[in-house]
Amino acid sequence: MLAESTKKLIHRFRMIGIAEGISFLVLLLIAMPLKYIFKMPEAVKIVGWVHGALFLTFIYFAFEVMGACKKNMGWFAKAFAAAIIPCGTFVFDKQLKKDPELQ
């Protein structure tokens, strides 16, 4: 059984992952078309900064969870890949919910 602080860490990691995934989709599906089709580069600037901050936070929390739950670098590589593939964080979150070691 995981300690309460580890459960909170995993919960925060999952929430950041969902936010990062949403920001990535907003960047790709809304901000980029606004920039290149409608000549509104401000959208990419704003959403890009938000997404970048969430991406770095996701990677930080991945390191924290990896250490707290004694996961290997292969697990971290999956987390990193999930962050750079559209909808990857949603798939990774589903796997986190099924992982018996993280319950």
Predicted confidence (pLDDT) at residue 10 exceeds the cutoff of 80: yes
Joined tokens for residue 63:
């390191």
Whole-model pTM? Answer: 0.94
Mean pLDDT of 64-81: 97
If residue 1 lies in a helix (H) or strand (E), which one and from where to where? none
Please provide the average confidence, as pLDDT, over all residues in the chain.
96
Mean pLDDT of 3-30: 97
The domain ranges of the chain are 4-97
65, 68, 72, 75: CA torsion to nearest 10? -20
Distance CA 93, CA 42 (A): 31
Residues whose CB is less than 8 angstroms from the CB of residue 26 and which lie 6 or more positions away in sequence, other chains included = 47, 51
Mean pLDDT of 33-61: 97
